[in-house]
């Protein structure tokens, strides 16, 4: 089969990142672009994660694109946080409004992408065995996209259903079911709060107790919407210059600089307000840096658990003992859920799961916990190593990343020319939509530069990749984040080396680093002008 050579760029993934990349490269740069996604609809993580309770953990007014000002004024939502179906509806509306659907090819998995140095082209193969060639490859695979499924002895004997939250079957209802759920991270806690309302019995298998902050979720009114719409210019300006990009002013006050009474007052005010990112970053500025400040916040949450949960033994199991330094989790009524008569908690740290039988989960103490539906809320691993990505000189990305998974600015790596990652490793730790917009806009300008000067390839320098990865480690190590067992360091994957997967200095600082790189004419990238013009079709001129 002859390769399709009509494309300038291929985008892998049709979530927030892929949709925006397609828009920028096609509608603004005028490139011929096709976006592939293995799902049967757009949305990325919001297509796959249909489990009960799935919603954004950043507030709705900043969990969207900022680039379309008209849509910001026209689009409405119903609660402080967006339900999965609302996010999906919004993303589909963006796709249709900007006429993107004609260049999105669904139900098409990219199985491999190989750099051909002789042609200076990416050769991309799909699961239909069709081959495409393009100058640029944009991977928009999501921060963590591949389900992490634990190995449980006896799983083949289990007569009920086993479902990972990110592959929730359409129509599956937990009402009246005996449900077991493994995992109490952001996904697991959302599922638990919702499933408890209708399940006959919900057994929660908890490895790590969590600091869950009230979300404050609830209906919004027209006055709220009008206030957001009239202030969007100021809102986005604040977001772009903030740390976590969640639409609130981060604190500049140290927890250790005020009295205990004042700390308690500030924590209580944030607890009542709702939002986990606000509790961690909007109360005091040293919670993730100063052990004493962190202890004060952790003790406040532990006191809340003791006051909320009726059964002392359950309260004890729910109390986290380590640093409050994992990705912030927020829910409506998480701890209150364990007061329900149909909800039970098993600490698998103290009492591990040993096997499954036909109708039960068996723990080390011999107890058989009867279930007919087992839900795996066990997180994700990065999707890059699952795909056969091969760069210059036949280097597989799995080999390049064997010791250190790293990308300069979270966007590009050596040996992989003309390949740009949206939220690759070492990207900024922030609310995802503004972080994604930041990266896609920067990638677009880098490609514009390459096209304008007639470059055949642009590639990140190896020294820059390693220096950036070390900087991410150094910033992380100056905080308490590495001291907590968290997926943001790969700790949810057995045997995986714990390294900083993110740049923790904030969105504002990250944007300044990007601006400095661009303003200096991309000194950490190598542009090559090898003569491949005879192999290229006529390209549209790039708008300036």
Per residue in 377-394, pLDDT (tens digit) is 998 766 666 679 999 999
Where among 350, 379, 408 does a domain terminate? 379
Q: Taking residues 357-369, what's their average pLDDT?
A: 98
User: Is the confidence at residue 500, as pLDDT, over 90?
Assistant: no
Q: Are residues 198 and 344 in the same domain?
A: yes
Q: Are residues 141 and 161 in the same domain?
A: no
- Amino acid 460: pLDDT: 98
Task: Give the burial class of 308: count Cβ atoms within 10 A of its Cβ; 0-12 exposed, 13-18 middle, 19 or more buried.
Answer: middle
Q: What are phi and psi of 485, to 5 degrees?
A: -80, 105
Q: Are residues 418 and 450 in the same domain?
A: yes
Q: Are residues 305 and 336 in the same domain?
A: yes
Task: Give the burial class of 197: count Cβ atoms within 10 A of its Cβ; 0-12 exposed, 13-18 middle, 19 or more buried.
Answer: middle
Rg for the chain, CA atoms, rounded: 24
Q: Angle, nearest 10°, between helix axes 507-519 and 232-240?
A: 80
User: Is the confidence at residue 534, as pLDDT, over 50?
Assistant: no
Per residue in 431-489, pLDDT (tens digit) is 999 999 999 999 999 999 999 999 999 999 999 999 999 999 999 999 999 998 765 66
User: What is the tally of structural domains in the chain?
Assistant: 2
CB atoms within 10 A of CB 235: 18
- Amino acid 143: pLDDT: 64
- Amino acid 532: pLDDT: 46
The answer to whether residues 270 and 216 touch, using CB atoms and an 8 Å cutoff, is no
Mind giving me the DSSP string for 186-219? HHHHHHHHHHTTT-SEEEEEESS---EEE----B
Per residue in 222-246, pLDDT (tens digit) is 999 999 999 999 999 999 999 999 9
- Amino acid 486: pLDDT: 64
- Amino acid 145: pLDDT: 64
- Amino acid 535: pLDDT: 30
Separation CA 387–CA 424 (nearest Å): 14
pLDDT band at 427, cuts 50/70/90?
Answer: very high
Q: Are residues 349 and 392 in the same domain?
A: no
Task: Tell me how far CA of residue 155 lies from CA of 148, 285, 363, 414, in angstroms.
Answer: 15, 46, 14, 42
Residue labelled with tokens 């000067």 = 453
Q: What's the number of CA atoms in the CB half-sphere (13 Å) around residue 5?
A: 11
Residue 284: domain span: 155-219+249-379
Per residue in 299-347, pLDDT (tens digit) is 999 999 999 999 999 999 999 999 999 999 999 999 999 999 999 999 9
Q: Are residues 372 and 437 in the same domain?
A: no
Mind giving me the DSSP string for 387-405? SEEE-GGG-BHHHHTSS--
- Percentage of residues of the chain with pLDDT beyond 90: 89
Return mean pLDDT, the chain: 94
Tell me, yes or no, whether 438 lies in a domain.
Answer: yes
pTM comes to 0.94
The answer to whether residues 185 and 377 touch, using CB atoms and an 8 Å cutoff, is yes
- Amino acid 379: pLDDT: 84
User: Is the confidence at residue 540, as pLDDT, over 60?
Assistant: no
* Helix/strand/coil (H/E/C) assignment for every residue in 426-495: CEECCCHHHHHHHHHHHHHHHHHHHHHCCCCEEEECHHHHHHHHHHHHHHHHCCCHHHCCCHHHCCCCCC
User: Is the confidence at residue 538, as pLDDT, over 60?
Assistant: no
Q: What's the number of CA atoms in the CB half-sphere (13 Å) around residue 25?
A: 29
Q: Are residues 159 and 256 in the same domain?
A: yes
Q: Taking residues 412-426, what's their average pLDDT?
A: 97
Q: Are residues 83 and 215 in the same domain?
A: no
CATH code for position 365:
3.50.50.60
Q: Are residues 338 and 413 in the same domain?
A: no
Q: What are phi and psi of 139, to 5 degrees?
A: -100, 120
The answer to whether residues 103 and 113 touch, using CB atoms and an 8 Å cutoff, is no
Tell me, yes or no, whether 233 lies in a domain.
Answer: no
Strands 121-126 and 110-116 come out as: antiparallel
Tell me, rounded to whole angstroms, the distance of Cα 501 from its chain centroid.
Answer: 11
Q: Are residues 169 and 302 in the same domain?
A: yes
Mind giving me the DSSP string for 313-340? HHHHHH---S-S-SS-EEESSHHHHTTS
Where among 379, 404, 422 does a domain terminate? 379
């Amino acid at each position: 089969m002859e390769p399709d050579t009509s494309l300038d760029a291929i985008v892998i993934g049709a979530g927030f990142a892929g949709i925006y990349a397609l828009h920028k490269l096609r509608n603004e740069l005028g490139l011929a672009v096709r976006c592939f996604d293995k799902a049967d609809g757009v949305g990325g993580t919001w297509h796959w994660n249909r489990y009960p309770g799935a919603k954004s953990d950043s507030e709705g007014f900043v969990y969207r694109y900022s680039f379309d000002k008209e849509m910001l004024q026209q689009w409405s939502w119903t609660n402080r946080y967006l339900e999965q179906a609302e996010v999906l509806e919004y993303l589909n509306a963006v796709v249709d409004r900007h006429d993107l659907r004609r260049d999105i090819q669904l139900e098409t998995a990219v199985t491999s992408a190989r750099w051909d140095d002789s042609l200076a082209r990416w050769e991309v193969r799909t699961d239909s065995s069709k081959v495409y060639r393009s100058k640029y490859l944009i991977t928009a695979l999501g921060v963590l996209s591949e389900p992490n499924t634990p190995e449980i002895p006896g799983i083949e004997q289990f007569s009920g259903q086993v479902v990972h939250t990110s592959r929730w079957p359409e129509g599956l209802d937990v009402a009246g079911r005996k449900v077991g759920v493994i995992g109490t991270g952001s996904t697991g806690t959302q599922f638990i709060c919702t499933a408890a309302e209708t399940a006959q019995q919900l057994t929660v298998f908890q490895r790590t107790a969590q600091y869950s902050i009230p979300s404050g979720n609830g209906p919004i009114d027209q006055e709220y919407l009008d206030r957001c719409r009239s202030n969007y210019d100021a809102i986005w300006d604040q977001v772009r210059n903030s740390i976590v990009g969640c639409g609130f002013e981060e604190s500049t006050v140290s927890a250790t600089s005020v009295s205990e009474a004042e700390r308690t007052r500030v924590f209580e005010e944030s607890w009542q307000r709702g939002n986990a990112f606000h509790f961690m970053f909007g109360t005091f500025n040293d919670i993730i840096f100063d052990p004493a400040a962190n202890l004060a916040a952790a003790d406040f949450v532990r006191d809340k658990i003791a006051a909320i949960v009726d059964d002392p033994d359950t309260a004890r199991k729910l109390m986290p003992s380590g640093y409050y330094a994992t990705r912030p989790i927020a829910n409506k009524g998480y701890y209150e859920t364990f007061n329900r008569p149909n909800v039970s908690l098993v600490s698998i740290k103290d009492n591990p799961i040993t096997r499954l039988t036909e109708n039960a989960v068996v723990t080390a103490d011999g107890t058989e916990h009867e279930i007919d539906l087992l839900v795996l809320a066990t997180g994700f691993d990065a999707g890059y190593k699952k795909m056969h990505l091969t760069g210059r000189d036949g280097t597989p990305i799995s080999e390049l990343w064997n010791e250190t998974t790293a990308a300069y600015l979270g966007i590009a790596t050596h040996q992989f020319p003309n390949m740009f990652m949206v939220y690759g490793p070492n990207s900024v730790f922030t609310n995802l939509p503004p972080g994604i917009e930041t990266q896609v806009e920067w990638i677009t300008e880098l490609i514009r530069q390459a096209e304008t000067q007639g470059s055949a390839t642009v590639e990140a320098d190896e020294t820059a990749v390693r220096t950036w990865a070390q900087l991410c480690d150094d910033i992380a190590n100056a905080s308490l984040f590495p001291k907590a067992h968290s997926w943001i360091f790969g700790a949810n994957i057995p045997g995986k080396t714990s390294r900083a997967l993110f740049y923790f200095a904030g969105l504002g600082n990250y944007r300044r680093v990007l601006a400095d790189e661009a303003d200096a004419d991309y000194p950490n990238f190598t542009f090559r002008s090898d003569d491949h013009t005879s192999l290229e079709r006529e390209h549209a001129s790039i708008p300036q």
